[in-house]
């Protein structure tokens, strides 16, 4: 997947390039979204592969570019399609809460890739804040899951807090991001070929 990266698999180069990129993007009021968290290193089989990586390799090879982007203030992280340690990345407690929120210190919003949410409850419990379109809209089940007590309302509040604090951090509430959407993209489906 090196065609989507700044540096391929070089952790030092990636970390060196990520921070200034994030800073430049976000000073214009655009939320820098770093992706794909984590271990999404090949295109073929990315929807079904299961990656097993030791903690040392995670911290020394795969996490440094992300950590540098987080330290530079990146507002969002997009989780990947693949499984890691047997669980999809967007519903993986170890990836989202332990490594990303805990070890890397990320405080912004975590979003899925398009169609990468497989289970609403497991994703929320693991720390996913925003589901991007695709895969049947799993987060449409959240009102029922809260109503049945399977997910606490406090979890939804925390998710909303991550989104709103990211928007605040990047200037969406103080005019740094233009309020009007350009007419070239208004009401235009830019996410599919349909």
For the chain, where are the alpha helices, taking DSSP H only?
Answer: 11-26, 55-57, 64-71, 93, 120-126, 142-147, 153-169
Pairwise CA distance, residues 187 & 169, whole Å? 27
What's the CA dihedral at 59, 60, 61, 67 to 10 degrees? 60
**How does strand 83-84 pair with strand 50-51?**
parallel
Pairwise CA distance, residues 126 & 118, whole Å? 12
CA distances from 146 to 54, 87, 105, 139 (A): 35, 23, 28, 11
- Catalytically active residues are 113
Name residue 34's beta-bridge partners.
77
What's the CA dihedral at 120, 123, 161, 178 to 10 degrees? -80
What's the CA dihedral at 130, 131, 133, 134 to 10 degrees? 170
């Amino acid at each position: 997947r090196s065609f989507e990266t700044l540096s391929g698999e070089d952790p030092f180069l990636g970390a060196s390039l990520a921070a200034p990129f994030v800073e430049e993007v976000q000073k214009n009021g655009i939320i820098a979204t770093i992706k794909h968290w984590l271990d999404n290193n090949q295109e073929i089989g990315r929807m079904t592969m299961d990656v097993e990586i030791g903690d040392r390799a995670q911290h020394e090879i795969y996490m440094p570019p992300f950590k540098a982007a987080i330290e530079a203030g990146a507002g969002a992280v997009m989780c990947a399609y693949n499984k890691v340690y047997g669980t999809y990345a967007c519903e993986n407690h170890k990836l989202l809460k332990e490594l990303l929120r805990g070890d890397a210190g990320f405080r912004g919003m975590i979003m899925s890739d398009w169609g990468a949410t497989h289970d609403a409850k497991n994703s929320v419990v693991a720390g996913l804040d925003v589901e991007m379109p695709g895969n049947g809209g799993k987060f449409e089940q959240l009102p029922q899951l809260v109503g049945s007590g399977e997910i606490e309302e406090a979890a939804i509040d925390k998710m909303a807090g991550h989104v709103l604090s990211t928007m605040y951090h990047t200037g969406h509430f103080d005019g740094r991001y233009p309020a009007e959407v350009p007419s070239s993209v208004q009401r235009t489906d830019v996410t599919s070929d349909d």
